[in-house]
Amino acid sequence: MTMTFNQFLCALRARYLVVVLVFLGMVAIAGVVSVLMPSKYTASTSLVLDGRTADPILGSVLPSQLMPGYLATQIDIIASDRVAQRVVALTQLDQVPVLRDQWQEATGGNGDIRTWIGTILKQQLEVLPSRDSSVLKLSFSGNDPNFAAAVANAYARAYIETTLELKVEPARQFAQWFNDRTKSLREDLELAQRKLSEYEQEHGIIAGDGRFDIENARLADLSSQLVQVQGQRADSRSRHSQVGSAESLPEVMSNPFIADLKAQVARLEAQRTQMQGRFGVNHPEVARVDAEIGSLKQRILTETQRVATSLGTTTRISAAREAEVAEALEIQKARVLEMKAHRDQVAVLRRDVENAQRAYDLVTQRLAQTSLESQSQQTNVVVLTPAVAPGAPSSPRLTLNLIAGCVLGLLLGVASALVFEMIDRRVRGKDDLLQLKNVPMLGVVPAAPGRRGGRFFSRSATA
């Protein structure tokens, strides 16, 4: 059966005592609880996490888009067991007899007391990031204001030391690894240098010498000489093949002695022709001139044969020279190829040395860098505002609790009145009569003057 708003108001007015009693009861309970609850004090400290500052060693800067994730990570670190146990060590809470007795009673002496106390401390810790900034607010609540401030400051110190350890410990491990790696790389570099030195000493190779260029130039010169000698040999062989017509050889035609003999023959032949016309063919003078001409022609023939013979000698000399130059060229080729092979092997060994040197330099550089990081005592966390002992308790808050008691009491009072009304439903107006079946409403009695809630019947419609 539904209830209208007028019925709701009528029920509240009829059962206002229930509402008032429940309301007063809840307010009283809130006041008593606030008075009886132990006072808690909350101390807060602020930390600045400057993730955008360049690393003094690496020079790197944290991108701005990674800052939310960075702050969330730092909040998780603050709330971690590692930081809590360090707080216990800093405040020496594990040495407090009362806490040791409570730990013995709760765990029977099993486990680590620092872990147990740290778990309790984390329950009273609250870490909140500031909006649009890199500031974290760290709050700790306790029964004693000085204790709350001490623990809050210990949390800030433990967090700073932990972040420094998280930064330094990996650097120390890397530094040790790089140090071990440096030793092996140094041995590799020394081995590569020793191989290169031994190979150069074995084959008499001097770094940076120009012998290879000299040998290449000598090879080119021998090649030119061979071509030249081969040309001379071909020319002399061609001329030697013309021995049958030796008089047409250039050497014969250009020979001054033969040319002089031919000139003498021509002069004597001209003289003979004159003498034959004067004295006749059988004259002794003509015979003498003929004898001289025959002697000169014989000398010309002898000289021509000598020149032709010298051409054969030249051909043989050219052939011998060609063979000698060809042999020298082959020897020079073998020498150049050998030097090239040595040069290529030296290049390979030098490349091995360069690669070993590069790897050694890289690891040495990383070793120096990680060594600096492992010795770093700088962190990007700074305490902005240290915690101080609060002057007033943070809980219980009497005013807030009373307001909450009033609101809750009012709601519970109204709910209680409705529950009683639903259990014992009564007719409190015409709306209640209209909901009754087969019951006619004859009229409504208005309230009497001066009487609250009273009504007089007046004529109304009949059902």
- For every residue of 356-400, DSSP letters joined together read HHHHHHHHHHHHHHHHHHHT----SEEEEE-----SS-SB--HHH
The whole-number pLDDT of residue 203 equals 72
Q: Which pLDDT tens digit goes with each residue over 270-292?
A: 877 777 777 777 777 777 777 88
The whole-number pLDDT of residue 243 equals 45
The whole-number pLDDT of residue 158 equals 92
* CA atoms of 162 and 386, how far apart (whole Å): 18
User: Would you state the structure tokens that stand for residue 312, as one six-digit string?
Assistant: 């054969």
The whole-number pLDDT of residue 272 equals 76
The whole-number pLDDT of residue 188 equals 86
User: Would you state the structure tokens that stand for residue 80, as one six-digit string?
Assistant: 């971690």
Side chain identity, residue 181: R
For residues 170 and 68, the answer to whether their CB atoms sit within 8 Å is no
Question: Over the range 96-123, which residues count as b (16 or more CB within 10 Å of their CB) and which as e?
Answer: eeebeeebeeeeeeeeebbebbbeebbe
pTM metric for this prediction? 0.51
Q: Which pLDDT tens digit goes with each residue over 162-186?
A: 988 888 887 788 778 888 888 888 8
The whole-number pLDDT of residue 455 equals 39
For residues 414 and 12, the answer to whether their CB atoms sit within 8 Å is yes
Q: Which residue stretches of the chain have pLDDT < 70? A: 1-4, 51-67, 205-213, 215, 226, 230, 232-255, 305, 307-316, 318, 376-377, 394-396, 425-463
